[in-house]
Amino acid sequence: MQWTPGGTSSDVEDRRSEGGGGGGFGFGGFGGGHLGLGGLLLMLILSFVFRVNLFNVFSGGGSPTPVRPVAEGDRNAGGGDREVQFVSFVLDDVQATWERLLPKSGANYRHAKLVLFRDYTESGCGTAQSATGPFYCPADEKVYIDLSFFDELRTKFGAPGEFAQAYVIAHEIGHHVQKILGIEQQVSSLRRREPSEGNHLSVKLELQADCFAGVWGHSTEQRKIVDNSDIAAGLRAAASVGDDRLQRMASGHVSPESFTHGSSAERQASFQRGMEAGDIGACNTFASR
């Protein structure tokens, strides 16, 4: 990808220096009890000494989870981190693209925020954890990403390259576009009326977000920001997180009836459709049920 580092976007909210927990650890109850300041500090110190999240144990969360030490560079993360600058560039570019395109569909685009966190944080949709991967929360209109996911995208899912990372951000902003257009609300209503259709509707929603990511990708191709190798990386990223591939990796077998995001082939095809058309009209995944 052709991009120039340029600081941190005003739409990026960096919570990484909070050590895992967007609202801080707080002073509420854990497991029905209440920790005073002294107990809170002791628990925090022991968590870092033993490299386990003792707060999770006392809150009834089961087995302790590893706590990653905060690197000195991360504590001061502002705009000097190249990865944060890359996320900022992509976020700003994606949102600027939708500012240009959405009025053609009769809607005005409003910016989403992107939250960087480590391990876990609080969102308008509940607790965000690294294990859940990047996601968009319609309740607070924010995208949540632990940057360690980009390492997994490269090493675990076999999708290296900056455009593969950009695809992830563009996909999540695609969900924000769905919220602005009222699509997310309509799907939520349908799910409540027809619970048995929940997975099917979820797949349609996710494939449309993939297509929206492709619409942005088309814009980058037109502006010579990406080349054919970048596009291939984006297609690999879309395929790498298909339900069939993820299920096969996890259990060795595939259950299409339980898909919530679509198969690798479907995700790749939706992204490519948006790339080729560059038009939101090409992304009506709900046309047939």
Radius of gyration of the chain (CA): 20
d(CA 180, CA 255): 32
pTM for the full predicted model: 0.76
Give me the tens of pLDDT residue by residue for the chain, a chain 289 residues long: 888 888 889 999 999 987 554 333 333 333 333 343 344 444 444 444 444 444 444 444 444 434 333 333 343 444 448 899 999 999 999 999 999 999 998 999 999 999 999 998 999 999 999 888 899 999 999 999 999 988 888 887 777 778 889 999 999 999 999 999 999 999 999 989 999 888 989 999 999 999 999 999 999 999 999 888 888 888 888 888 788 888 888 888 888 888 889 888 999 999 999 999 999 999 999 886 5
Unique residue bearing structure tokens 């209503």? 189
Return the number of other C-beta atoms located less than 10 Å from residue 203's C-beta: 20
d(CA 137, CA 62): 26
- Going 204 to 186 to 134 to 171, the CA torsion angle's sign is positive
Contact 118, 19 (CB under 8 A): yes
CB proximity list for 118: less than 8 A, separation 6 or greater: 15, 16, 18, 19, 20, 68, 70, 74, 130, 146, 148
